Amino acid sequence: MTDRPSVIFRCDVSPAIGIGHLMRSRTFAGALRDAGQRCIMVGPTLDYRSESDKALFDDWIAVPEWESGAGDARNFVEIARSHGARRAVLDDYRTDERFQEVLRDEGLIWMQHFDASKPNRFWADMIVHGSPSETDERWRPHLLNPHTEMLFGPSYSVLRPEFPPPELQPDEREVRTILVSFGGGDDQGAVLLTLKALFDRTAQNIRFAVMSGSRNPNIPAIRAWIDEHAGDRVALHVEPKDIAGLFASCDLAILGGGISIYEAAACGLPMVVTALADNQLRQCDAWEKLGAAIFLGRVFDLTPELLDDRVVPLIADRPRRAQMTRVGRNAVDGQGARRLADHLLKDRNK
């Protein structure tokens, strides 16, 4: 332990839920380190730890099995004590009311990301959600702590520091490259369904850029289909190094309803989105109502006909795409991590 103040993270990641929680935690840790904090990661197994994580997290404690709210919380506060951490970030949707009570009794100050599809109750000092759908009015009845701050909306979305990239394309442009991405975990067959539906229904000069995480079990099937059917019209990018550059090189995005929505919005990409999990439904619907996306429903409701009906007309509708571009860019400026760091680190004795 050092005299330097510490922030401890609890993060959940798996092939089933993807790596969005971990990506968000990495970016937030970078902002906190810039503010002079040490950061400790608790949760993900060591195979998720990258070389860059060694510069972000002073320690990484794997907790592969979830015991219970109270049991895991007691383990968490013991780790916090050993590192002198008085502030925490919970980016793990399993951190229930019992978990929070243990943190409260320990006197920790914490910020909590949460699943907006479930009736959560909160003791947290701060609750955070980047979706345009969440409001103070909706969540105030769920607060057990009268001093909880509610930090809602896209201005609090946490994006990698390279977003938005400096070079962005004009609002009104033709569609030459379509980004297809359904998160960093299991895409549930959505990539191949999308490619098969749109490949022959779009002009031959339109290309597809498929982005996926290395833990997507469908990568071999995607690669085999591309090799057999696509020629050079489809490029597969597995955990590309320059993600922001890839987003900025595209003109339209077909996405799952996770953090990629915010990255696409920051880059001014018109979006067609689908929910891979229940906790993405409200968010996807909210981005459509905001005017930056078209929402296709749940991933298991996707059909070739639905993709054809909603995507192909959008490719031809330049004014609508330009408006979607402007709405997305205005909603997400890439400063969410800095804003959240300011809230977490502020003096609460004043």
Give 37's DSSP letter. Answer: -
Give 165's DSSP letter. Answer: P
Give 160's DSSP letter. Answer: -
* Whether 320 and 340 share a structural domain: no
* Count of the separate structural domains present in the chain: 2
Q: Give the pLDDT confidence score for residue 349 in this predicted structure.
A: 64
Average pLDDT score over the chain:
94
pLDDT at 165 over 60: yes
Q: Give the predicted TM-score (pTM) of the model.
A: 0.86
Q: Is the preceding peptide bond at 146 cis, omega within 30 degrees of 0?
A: no
| Domain containing residue 99: CATH number | 3.40.50.11190
Please state which of the ranges 117-121, 309-313, 331-335 shows the lowest mean pLDDT. 117-121
pLDDT digits (tens, 9 = 90+) for 114-162: 999 888 999 999 999 999 999 999 999 999 999 999 999 999 999 999 9
* Whether 338 and 311 share a structural domain: no
| Domain containing residue 236: CATH number | 3.40.50.2000
The pLDDT confidence band at residue 184, using thresholds 50, 70 and 90, is confident
* Whether 134 and 35 share a structural domain: yes
* Whether 75 and 215 share a structural domain: no
Collapse the DSSP code of 241 into the 3-class scheme (helix H, G, I; strand E, B; otherwise coil) and give the result: coil
Residue 318: what are its φ and ψ, rounded to 5°?
-65, -45
The pLDDT confidence band at residue 1, using thresholds 50, 70 and 90, is very low
Percent of the chain exceeding pLDDT 90 equals 86
Which helix H or strand E contains 75, and what residues bound it?
A: helix 69-83
Q: Give the pLDDT confidence score for residue 3 in this predicted structure.
A: 65
Look at residue 200 and tell me if it is in a domain.
yes
Residues whose CB falls within 8 Å of the CB of residue 58, separated by 6 or more in sequence, listed in order: 6, 38, 39, 40, 83
Tokens of 19: 């790596």
Range of the domain at 321: 177-331
C-beta contacts of 215-224 below 8 A and 24+ residues apart: 215/15, 215/19, 215/184, 215/185, 215/186, 216/15, 216/184, 216/185, 216/186, 216/187, 217/15, 217/186, 218/186, 218/187, 218/189, 218/191, 218/192, 221/192, 222/191, 222/192, 222/195
* Whether 339 and 317 share a structural domain: no
